[in-house]
Amino acid sequence: MSLRLRVAASFAALLLALLIAVFASSLTSLRHAFDQELQSEVSQLSERVVQSAGGAGFPFSIAPALLVPQVLDTYASPGTFIRVLDAGGQVIAASSGPGSYGGAERVIWKRNHVARVMLDGEPYLASYRRVRVPGVAPYAVLEVGHEANSFDRLLAALIWRVGIVFAAGVVAAFVAAWFLAQALLTPLERMTRAAEAIDPASLERRLGWSGRHDEVGRLAGAFDAMLDRLALAFERERRFVADASHEMKTPLAAISGNAQLLQRWGDEAPADVRKDSLHAIVRRAREMDRMLREMLALSRAESEAVALRPIDFNAVVRAAVAGWEEQARDHGLTLTVKLPQPPLEAEGEADLLGVALSNLLGNAVKFTPEGGTITVALTRNAGRAVFEVADTGSGIAAEDLPHIFERFYRGRDERRVPGSGVGLAIVQSVAKAHHGGVSVESAPGKGSRFRLEIPVQRG
């Protein structure tokens, strides 16, 4: 069953249930009002008979002269009857009209009351009162009734007419709901057709919703946003594969060349050739491992799924510095660290921040000559945590500054030192993932100062 049909059928069924409930409630109220009116009529008629008979108090007394059908007929009106019964339920006197009686004997003697009875197969509403009749012991019962089937006839006619109206209303509601559902679902059908036309080769396509900004419009916007994220993920994957393929060519070629050299020499390879080839293979393998880890870190930093949580920024700085202290000493560098007290807390992802800070420190160590100084400082400024790495190294050429955060970009002076060219791209991606930024001040021969800033969570 289609959604349009289910919506229309559900609406029609709901309307039918509502109409039936309203009709049943109205019918109950109408029956109650009719019964109240009948009870009032038979009670008034009973009072009139008793008063005319001259009775007073309880039990009432009825003169024998009243126990004549012709006399009782003077009180009865069309659709009513009057009977006098003994305690056993036998008819002593009755007006013209219904004469048979059944089923009431078991209840009429309990108390004065009004009840529904069947006389000659027709329903009546009857009033029962104890009275005293000379010669009738221990008491008699005055029964005054009014036919009740007029309401049943009215109800049957009403049900027939209401049924026709209900049927027409339900059909009209179904048709209206069908067209309403069609109007509401047409945009969804257009969205479905557009979505079905999108495949990995055409992720640039969008639904381009131009209708109202209602639930359907928000759904279309959410779908386009999902396509944006999906296209970005595909682009990151494509770029990662392309970058990995490009960057792996040189080390793989070197590894393959040295391996083939060893294969050609076989067991007769000179010791120095064997040593140099194995050393080159190990060095290139480590270079590949480092590049892969850096590219994975870059891909992860560019992902939107970075979970930010409060962390101790001081601890992140100490861990990053500890990883470069030994190499700094080996290069004859002075490494100074300035941390705030109490520790500064910020929202971040500790592992990614550690990678970014380690890359900044690594660049400072690589490009600072022996005897130089590297200063690492952590401060808080205008609600932001600022991590600074300043060195007295060679600096960066003016023509290279606009490009240093690009993937795989290597400046003129960088080509003489090992590296993949993704370190600063990782730093920038980590900064963006933390809703922060990175900047640099540098000049050739005057060193560099990198600033990584992220919002402070608390502290």
Q: Render pLDDT for 114-166 as a digit per residue (tens, 0 to 9).
A: 777 777 777 777 778 777 777 777 777 888 887 877 767 777 787 888 888 88
Which of 451, 398, 441, 407 has the alpha carbon at shortest distance from 426? 407
Place 106 in a pLDDT band, splitting at 50, 70 and 90. very low
Which CATH code for domain 215-299? 1.10.287.130
Q: Rounded distance, CA 123 to CA 202, Å?
A: 79
Residue 339's pLDDT band (cuts 50, 70, 90): very high
Query: Out of 2.40.10.10, 3.40.50.2000, 3.30.565.10, 3.30.360.10, which CATH number does the structure's domain 306-455 have?
Result: 3.30.565.10
Contact 421, 407 (CB under 8 A): yes
Average of per-residue pLDDT across 84-102? 72
For residue 459, name the pLDDT band (cuts at 50, 70, 90).
very low
Per-residue pLDDT at 336? 93
According to the model, what pLDDT value does residue 318 have?
93
Percent of the chain with pLDDT over 70: 82
Does 215-299 match 306-455 in CATH topology?
Answer: no
The pair of three-digit structure tokens given for residue 198, joined into one six-digit string: 């999108």
The pTM assigned to this predicted structure is: 0.48
What fold, for 3-154?
Answer: Beta-Lactamase (3.30.450)
Query: pLDDT confidence of 314, banded at 50, 70, 90?
Result: very high
Span 199-258, pLDDT tens digits? 777 777 777 767 677 777 788 888 888 888 788 777 777 776 776 676 677 778 888 888
Domain positions in the chain? 3-154, 215-299, 306-455
Mean pLDDT, residues 300-325 taken together: 83
